[in-house]
Structure 1
Amino acid sequence: MIRRFGESPEPGQKYIRRAGAYALLPRQSSLLVTWYDDGKNPELQLPGGGIDPGESPIAALHREVFEETGWLIATPRRVGTFRRFVFMPEYDLWAEKICMIYRAMPVRRMGPPREEFHEARWMHAEAATQALGNSGDRFFAQQHVSSLR
């Protein structure tokens, strides 16, 4: 059974399952996160996103992290999975998001994020446990912080 975070599914609402890969990207006591701000729904997020048809979760992780942060990563290791039921306004879609969380090493910044409305930010890991925009991301950031103690 996959742990659920966030709101319960709304009765009668049809949800499309959408798998995604997301990264905890540590360096010393910081995490590389992405600030998403389209002017409507600003949010601090773990870098990552949807897995395209035919794409592996690891390939999606590398692609999404690069698009949202401009960084190349190495040695991804899966640390857990959660699901959440959300409306995704950018896709006009009710989704059951299956979020696979990896820990990976940010190894090289290649430039700014390529994806519109995204800004890469280094944030103290403890602060990220409070500031990330969804409870699943916060849970895994807290697990990361606890592993450092």
Structure 2
Amino acid sequence: MRPRLQFGTPEQGLDYPIRPTAFGLVVHETHLACVRVDRGDRSYYDLPGGAIDGEETEEQALVREFLEETGMTVRPVERLGEAAQFFRRSDGEPLNNTGGFWIAERLSLDPAAKIEADHELVWLAPGAALQKLRHDAHAWAVAALLRHRA
């Protein structure tokens, strides 16, 4: 079963298995925490987060992913909504990231705790994030956050 909000267009003939995920939105002052993923000339921006491992809850995955990707410890505050994104990973594997987008609170930041060397924490103004984020589902979450805070 797919969530009501499905983004992306699947390529014909490919199977896009559902990949349970959780992504987060942390605002500090007027900027949003994003990650720049270094892929050389194919680098991109995402919201921090990713796949749910094993029996993790969305909240547990969100806390783990934030720490791994940014060195930031967060507390999930509110589930903003659910959306899915058809896409192909850097290695070409087709997936349908499906899961929750969470508003989270920044508790601490320790760059030494980050373990994903190709991820860099960047703070983007929401308008810049809307333009730069790789996935439409992530841009939708930013727009939903802005409307939620209005």
Whether these two folds match at TM > 0.5 is yes
Instruction: Note the 1:53-64 alignment, pairs <5 A.
Output: 53-64=54-65
Instruction: Note the 1:105-116 alignment, pairs <5 A.
Output: 105-112=105-112, 113-116=114-117
Structure 1 residue 146: Cα displacement? 2.7
State how far apart, in whole Å, the 2-side matches of 1:54 and 1:146 are. Answer: 32
Indicate the percent of aligned positions where both proteins have the same amino acid: 27
Q: Deviations over 1:54-101 (max 9, x none)?
A: 2211111000011111100124311111112111134x5211210310
State the partner residue of 1:101: 101
State the partner residue of 2:6: 4
State the partner residue of 1:117: 118
> How many residue pairs end up in the alignment?
147
In 2, are the aligned partners of 1:20 and 1:100 still within 8 Å (CA)?
A: yes
Structure 1 residue 36: Cα displacement? 0.5
Structure 1 residue 2: Cα displacement? 2.2
CA spacing shift, 1:20–1:40, aligned 2, 3 Å: farther
SS in 1 for 2:111: coil
In 1, are the aligned partners of 2:74 and 2:105 still within 8 Å (CA)?
A: yes
CA spacing shift, 1:28–1:68, aligned 2, 3 Å: same
Structure 1 residue 50: Cα displacement? 0.4
What do you get for the CA RMSD once the two structures are aligned? 1.6
State how far apart, in whole Å, the 2-side matches of 1:53 and 1:77 are. Answer: 22
Deviates more, 1:99-108 or 1:38-47: 38-47
**1:109 maps to amino acid:** L
In 2, are the aligned partners of 1:68 and 1:120 still within 8 Å (CA)?
A: yes
In 1, are the aligned partners of 2:76 and 2:102 still within 8 Å (CA)?
A: no
State how far apart, in whole Å, the 2-side matches of 1:146 and 1:77 are. Answer: 14
**1:6 maps to amino acid:** G
State how far apart, in whole Å, the 1-side matches of 2:58 and 2:109 are. Answer: 21
- Gaps in structure 2 of 5+ consecutive residues: none
Structure 1 residue 126: Cα displacement? 2.5
Structure 1 residue 40: Cα displacement? 5.2
Tell me whether 1:80 sits opposite 2:81 in the alignment. yes
- Gaps in structure 1 of 5+ consecutive residues: none
Structure 1 residue 23: Cα displacement? 0.3
SS in 1 for 2:148: helix
TM-score by length of 1: 0.89
State the partner residue of 2:38: 37
